[in-house]
Amino acid sequence: MLTSIIIPTLNHWEYTKQCLESIRKFTNTPYEIIVVDNGSNDETVASLRAMNDVLLVENEGNRGFPAACNQGMAVAHGDQLLILNNDVIVSYRWLDNLLHCLYADCRHGAVGPVSNAVSGIQFRPQPYQTIEEYHNFTQDHNHSNPEQWITTLRLVGFCLLIRRDIYNEIGSFDERFGKGTYEDDDYSLRIRRAGYKLIVAADTYVHHFGSVTNRIDPEYRNVLVTNQQKFIEKWGVDPFYSLWLREDLAALVPKVDRVLDVGCACGGLGLTLKNKGISYVAGIELDKNAAIDAQSVLDQVWIGDAGKIQLPFPNQWFDAMVFADVIEHVAQPQHMLKNLLPYLKENGYLIVSIPNVGHLEILHGLLQGTWTYQNAGILDRTHLRFYTLEEIARLFEQVGVAIEFIGMVQDSTPELEALLRELEALTVRLSLKSFGPPFIERCRTVQYYLRARKLSQGASL
């Protein structure tokens, strides 16, 4: 089987050269190399023209990453297509492993490796200092292992292997994304909505210098914002908020049988739970566009208001319920919890993440007379309720839930720390008491991660 390796380039020949050399040295299965150049003005084009094993497509100017990928795929002869950034160095068994993963299951539509410079679940720390050490590391690491294959919502296009039949069905990259960014999120979503899976082959590690071409472009940040908005306009969901797997919160969920993810978005948290071995994960989502996406990865998804929805299950059906950044968006949280908690087993788990309005930055603003809503964060303009730890505990007590674990995501600055010392001294002078961790720890906390248990009838807090 032939793999077409498609590499868009724009200058930086020193990286492209290393990339090509690594392909030649470490690829044992049949392949062809197609380089699509987007108007390089260094030695890239002249050097590539002199190579007999490279099919070169030349553009007079920068047509953008998606268009370059499409040009390469249009002339490719391979049974599978591999999009590769020019600043990637591959290593031992890289392609063999990816191919094994891709064809191990007919539902696998695309696969990608892990790396040192990539976003999301594909990121892994760099356990080496030099390229020589990198190859020594991969010689031990890069062995095919299905236990290290992880289903995901998105694959990053820095090294993306796609089946030919999937490409024929899905089509090319969407060129509305111009120079690039979010075209891989878009393609990932299209693959999943066609009924296929995206797999991270964590048994395969490649080195990525990290978006060399884009990193020096002063317009890159503007492109990110613009393309994020284009994605939202196309699909009706925000990839920044809706496509994350939330491994942080999933770590608090015990390995039980049945979990309900309330406000499941596109299903990232639920998918992470299924990757952990939880057999049944259902979701509730108010946003129809996100719910449609979640239906591709969760067992069941209901579209509607969690405060009103009636589920087709008997009482005490679920072992755990998860509310990931949900409660602050609900006008009547007590009503919502009372509607859903009957479906939770006695002593079942309630996992919640919620922003802390008692964070020092908010207190600092209040001292200056400000309460300014933002597009994200504690004062997100979509928040309807605001909570301190004491208020969360009071809400839980009202619905018969007892907190058993408090996790804290903390953030501060030297300026805020100076204020914190003054406020801490004031609480001592006034003998102020409060629930939970010490005052100074609560003030540093941006978000709480809570695990609670539903009390048995008749039990008290």
Tokens of 35: 């380089």
Give dist(CA 296, CA 268) in Å, integer.
Answer: 11
DSSP annotation of 455: P
Chain segment 164-196, per-residue pLDDT in tens: 999 999 999 999 999 999 999 999 999 999 999
Instruction: Express the helix, strand and coil content of the chain in percent, nearest 5 each.
Output: 40, 25, 40
Residue 408's SS3 state is strand
pLDDT digits (tens, 9 = 90+) for 135-160: 999 999 999 999 999 999 999 999 99
What's the pLDDT band for 354 if we cut at 50, 70, 90? very high
Please give the pLDDT value at position 416.
85
The confidence score (pLDDT) of residue 329 equals 96
Q: Where residue 97 falls among pLDDT bands split at 50, 70, 90? A: very high
Pairing of strands 197-208, 108-115: parallel
Confidence of residue 72 (pLDDT cuts 50, 70, 90): very high
pLDDT at 222: 87
Tokens of 449: 């991660």
Residue 455: Cβ within 10 Å count: 17
pLDDT mean across residues, the chain = 94
283 — pLDDT class (breaks 50, 70, 90): very high
3-state secondary structure of 303: strand
Helix (H, G, I), strand (E, B) or coil at 398: helix
Say yes or no to pLDDT of 58 above 70: yes
Question: Hey, how many other C-beta atoms are within 10 angstroms of the C-beta on 320?
Answer: 26
- Residue 25 has a pLDDT of 98
Structure token digits, residue 340: 């859903």
Phi, psi of 429 (to 5 degrees): -65, -35
Query: CB within 8 A of 433, min separation 6: which ones?
Result: none
* pLDDT of amino acid 422: 85
pLDDT at 439 over 90: no
- Among all chains, which residue has been given the structure tokens 């009503």? 335
pTM: 0.88
Domains of the chain: residue spans and CATH? 3-233 (3.90.550.10), 242-454 (3.40.50.150)
The rounded radius of gyration (Å) of the Cα atoms in the chain is: 25
As a whole number, mean pLDDT of residues 48-76 equals 97
Q: 37 forms bridges with which residues in the sheet?
A: 9, 58
What is the rounded CA–CA span in Å between residue 214 and residue 227?
14
Give the residue among 353, 351, 352, 341 at the shortest CA–CA distance from 456: 341
**What are the DSSP calls for 78-138, one per residue?**
-SEEEEE-TTEE--TTHHHHHHHHHHSSTTEEEEEEEESS-SGGGB-----SSHHHHHHHH
How far is Cα 367 from Cα 297, in angstroms, rounded to an integer? 46
pLDDT tens column, 253-281: 999 999 999 999 999 999 999 999 999 99
Could you read off the pLDDT of 208-250 as tens digits, one per residue?
998 654 555 667 788 989 999 999 999 999 988 788 888 889 9
